[in-house]
Amino acid sequence: MERPVRFNTNVKQVEAPASFMGDGFMATSFDKVIGLARQNSLWPLPFATSCCGIEFMATMASHYDLSRFGAERLGFSPRQCDLLMVMGTIAKKMGPILRQVYLQMAEPRWVMAVGACASSGGIFDTYSVLQGIDQVIPVDVYVPGCPPRPEAIIDGFIQIQSLVGSESLRRRNGERYKALMDSYAIQ
């Protein structure tokens, strides 16, 4: 359908998944439709602690708009969010709190470690900094940089979207996932 706009005409439309279409119906598998819906409407929880948080604010602002990808609504309550974006250094004092926030999130949940400090401790190889958040919670995507440019954060977000879209519905009930959670002592 012709869009009534003048400038923003080069918009990428989301394609319908492979399906069997008929007169008034379309049959696909659940995985594909649910994955499509989830990936384009992720609700992120920005867990911003330091400098990467300011780059995230720049990503959310109008210049590098993150809401183009469906992340319009930022939630601050873990119960309502899908994606935990950890941005900034996590000190050992903060570790238990991060774990608490992760535990409160409902399945399906994804975690993105933004920045060098969240991925591996960054330049702070000290006694008080957690050397990467994967010491306490499982991580899906790591975005390197100190701080990563907004384009890099968006790239990480797109990778999360492709993970979300291609995830099988049975993954969270399977053995491998259970073993992963056990390795972090999460019930």
Partner 1 sequence: MPLTNQQIIERLTEKFGQDIFDIHEPYGLLTFTITKDLNLKVLRFLYDEPDLGFTFLTDLCAVHYPDNVGKELAVVYHLHNLVENIRVRFKVFAGTEQPDVFTATGIFESANWQERETYDFYGVNFVGHPNLKRILNVDEMDYFPLRKEFPLEDQTRTDKDDEMFGRGNLIGLN
Partner 2 sequence: MSLPEYHVKLPDGSIEKQTTTLNLGPTHPATHGVFQNILELDGERIVSAEQTVGYIHRAFEKIAERRPLYQITPLTDRLNYCSSPINNMGWHTTCEKLMGIKMPKRVDYLRVIIMELARISDHLICNSVVGVDTGAFTGFLYVMQYRELIYEIYEEICGSRLTTNIGRIGGFERNFNDIAFRKIEKFLVEYPKVLKEFENLFSRNRIFMERTQGIGGIDGQRALNYGFTGPNLRAAGIDYDVRVHKPYSSYEDFDFTIPVGKTGDCYDRFLVRNQEMYQSLKIIEQAYRKVQEFKGTDADVFHADAPEYYLPAKEDVYTKMEALIYHFKIVMGETNIPAGEVYHSVEGGNGELGFYLITDGGRSPYRLHFRRPCFIYYQAYSELTKGSMLSDAIITMSSLNLIAGEMDG
Amino acid identity at 156: G
Interaction between residue 93 and partner 1 (CB under 8 A):
yes
- What contacts 40, CB < 8 A, 6 or more positions away? 14, 69, 70, 161
Interaction between residue 99 and partner 1 (CB under 8 A):
no
Q: Which of partner 1, partner 2, none does 132 bind, CB closer than 5 to 8 A by kind?
A: partner 1
Tokens at 43, concatenated: 């609700």
How many residues sit in the footprint of partner 1 (CB under 8 A)? Answer: 11
Q: Which of partner 2, partner 1, none does 131 bind, CB closer than 5 to 8 A by kind?
A: partner 1
User: What are the backbone dihedrals phi and psi of residue 102, each rounded to the nearest 5 degrees, phi first?
Assistant: -65, -40
Closer to partner 2 by CB, 116 or 164: give it: 116
Interaction between residue 19 and partner 1 (CB under 8 A):
no
Q: Which stretch binds partner 1 (CB under 8 A): 34-42, 73-81, 119-127, 178-186?
A: 119-127
Q: In the range 121-150, which residues lie near partner 1 by CB under 8 A? A: 121, 125-129, 131-132
Among 150, 146, 144, 143, smallest CA distance to 64 is for: 150
| Distances in whole angstroms, Cα of residue 116 to Cα of each of 27, 100, 123, 161, 181 | 44, 22, 8, 21, 24
Binding residues for partner 1, rule: CB under 8 A, are 92-93, 120-121, 125-129, 131-132
